[in-house]
Amino acid sequence: MRAPYQVLILPFRRTQRGVEFAVFKRSGTSYWQFVSGGGEDDERPVEAAVREMQEEVGVNVKGRLVSLDAKTTIPVNVFKDSANWDDALLVIPEHAFASDIDDAELVLSSEHDELKWVTAEQANSLLKWDSNKTALWEVCQRLARGMDEQA
């Protein structure tokens, strides 16, 4: 059963041109986002983030996640599994993470139609959700300060 929270993961890499972020076009939609998904059963958010990265892009990021301070909440009515949650629950938290995936090859799952490696500025103009944009801003600030804290 889906746990009542969401995870968001920002994959990035450092290149000679600078830092690039992987953004994904959600299947059957016109919008771009980072990797996201829900926890399962009694999974902790960091465990869900590792699993979602493996499922959605084929990369194992265990031990390579940085927990972000960026947090948001999402109305429960956008999730089909909300019928299994407590009726008093109105919004669920979204936990954000970042991962330097270096030169790992990303393999799209059926959840995405397309992948682009872009600069932070390009990502900001493509992304639909404000929570993705806020997490992106935080990652850029952390990178400028020497990001190294692991989840």
**pLDDT tens per residue across span 90-115:** 999 999 999 999 989 999 999 999 99
Q: Would you say residue 150 has pLDDT above 70? A: no
Cβ neighbors of 59 (< 8 A, separation 6 or more) are 11, 53, 99, 101, 104, 105, 106
Q: What is the pLDDT of residue 107?
A: 94
Tell me how crowded residue 19 is: count the other CB atoms within 10 A of its CB. 15
Prediction pTM value: 0.93
Architecture of domain 2-144: Alpha-Beta Complex (3.90)
User: Where are the domains positioned within the chain?
Assistant: 2-144
Q: Would you say residue 84 has pLDDT above 70? A: yes
